[in-house]
Amino acid sequence: MNLKEEIMKLKKERNAIIMAHNYQIGEVQRIADFVGDSLELARKATQVDADVIVFAGVDFMAETAAILNPDKLILIPSKIASCEMARFLTPELIKEYKKKYPDATVVLYVNSTADCKALADITCTSANAVKVVNSLDADTILFGPDSNLAHYVAERTNKKIIPVPPNGHCYVHTNLNVENVPYDGVLMVHPECPAELQAKADVIASTGGMVKYVAKSNAKKFIVATERDMVERLKMEYPDREFVPAWPYAICLGMKQINLQKIYESLKDLKYEVRVPENIANKARKAIERMLEVS
Ligand code: 13P
Ligand code: SF4
């Protein structure tokens, strides 16, 4: 049996499903039961009928699935598949800002650790950040950890958005700048990109939003300003269109820790289990479920 067949066999034996983020390498996306953006994956995690979820993505995504499914076994195939952006925020920093702005509401991007989410009033993803913020009563919002997404939201709301911290960012997206991006196609830009590039975009969208945008567009060529392997997802959906990564070196190293061999080992040895302490999970779940209700 080849690796793919072994994975399929183990999946059946374990009653497992594989969920993959849009930034996974092509061969992982192709064997996954479900591929999507952070919001789609979080929502799907509440709907699956399986005993085991193998999460091909980075730590915070697997943690979100674990928080939403305390009775299921959630596995991440690599211990070092992590999101660097999440490191910009700590519970201490959130508490400091809350002291300074006691009337503000805390909105956290899901790209954050579970113990930070436990302090949030509500979470958001890049697909629903504006909707989430505009659904709130507060006039002042503490928004972290992505300052570029905070900028995107600030331009689309009347509320005061305070980025926490002021410089939180993703190294993959901040390396996409106006100088190194080609402009010979429809430019789709992720809101984690710098403000100057957002200003040049034909459309600013989450990775799932990009998939939906192409469906409605008649254009033949798209420049994709986000992680390089997003192009794999788009090619899978629309083989008749042309997709060019805005920059070939926009690679999320956390996402690239996972491959077919690691998924096979994960299913075989049931590793690595993602566990969130119950007291943290119970608080974080409230913030995530509130987001799912709003969107
Ligand atoms: P999406 O929610 O758009 O998939 O983005 C997640 C992410 O980590 C972007 O870097
Ligand atoms: Fe985190 Fe950036 Fe990777 Fe997205 S691309 S998972 S924000 S490090």
Q: What is the pLDDT of residue 295?
A: 86
Residue list for the binding site for iminosuccinate: 21, 38, 109-111, 126, 190-192, 207
End-to-end CA distance of the chain: 43
Ligand 1 centroid from CA 206, angstroms:
6
Residues 27 and 98 in one domain: no
Residues 9 and 153 in one domain: no
Residue list for the binding site for [4Fe-4S] cluster: 83, 170, 252
Ligand 1 centroid from CA 126, angstroms:
7
Ligand 1 centroid from CA 37, angstroms:
6
Note the pTM of the prediction, 2 decimals.
0.97
Residues 184 and 134 in one domain: no
Domain carrying residue 186: 171-251
Residues 99 and 160 in one domain: yes
Tokens, residue 11? 């999946």
Q: What is the pLDDT of residue 1?
A: 80
Check if 229 has its Cβ closer than 6 Å to any atom of ligand 1: no
Tokens, residue 189? 């830009």
Ligand 1 centroid from CA 112, angstroms:
12
Count of domains for the chain: 3
Helices (DSSP H) in 49-101: which residue ranges? Answer: 59-68, 91-100
Question: Could you say which DSSP state residue 96 is in?
Answer: H
CA distance 146 to 167: 8
Measured by CA distance, the residue closest to atom 3 of ligand 1 is 206
- My answer on whether omega of the bond before 272 falls inside 30° of 0, hence cis, is yes
ipTM reported for the complex, 2 dp: 0.98
Residue list for the binding site: 21, 38, 83, 109-111, 126, 170, 190-192, 207, 252
Residues 261 and 288 in one domain: no
Residue 48 has, within 13 A of its CA and on its CB side, a CA count of 27
Residues 290 and 146 in one domain: yes
Residues 110 and 148 in one domain: yes
Measured by CA distance, the residue closest to atom 4 of ligand 2 is 83
* Low-confidence stretches of the chain (pLDDT beneath 70): none
Residues 176 and 230 in one domain: yes
CB 140 within 8 A of CB 125: no
Residues 161 and 289 in one domain: yes
Laid out side by side, the sheet with 105-109 consists of: 122-124, 105-109, 140-144, 160-163
Local structure of 133: helix, strand or coil: helix
Check if 64 has its Cβ closer than 6 Å to any atom of ligand 1: no
Task: Please list every protein residue whose CB sits less than 6 Å from any atom of ligand 2.
Answer: 58, 83-85, 111, 170, 172, 192, 227, 252, 254-255
Helices (DSSP H) in the chain: which residue ranges? Answer: 3-14, 26-31, 38-45, 59-68, 91-100, 114-117, 129-134, 147-154, 171-174, 195-200, 207-216, 230-237, 260-269, 278-294
Residues 63 and 112 in one domain: no
Measured by CA distance, the residue closest to atom 9 of ligand 1 is 192
Q: What is the pLDDT of residue 193?
A: 98
Q: Give 217-236 pLDDT, tens digit per residue.
A: 999 999 999 999 999 999 99
Measured by CA distance, the residue closest to atom 8 of ligand 1 is 111
Residues 34 and 157 in one domain: no
Check if 38 has its Cβ closer than 6 Å to any atom of ligand 1: yes
Please report, for the domain that includes residue 31, its CATH number: 3.40.50.10800
Residues 91 and 152 in one domain: yes
Left (φ > 0), alpha (ψ -120 to 50) or beta: where does 15 sit? left
C-alpha torsion 187→193→199→203, nearest 10: 40
CA-wise closest residue to 180 among 121, 136, 113, 228: 228
- Return the best residue to mutate from 111, 146, 232 for the ligand 1 pocket (most ligand atoms within 8 A of CB): 111
Q: Give 88-116 pLDDT, tens digit per residue.
A: 999 999 999 999 999 999 999 999 999 99
Could you identify the atom of ligand 1 that is nearest to the CA of residue 23? Answer: 4
Tokens, residue 234? 């788009």
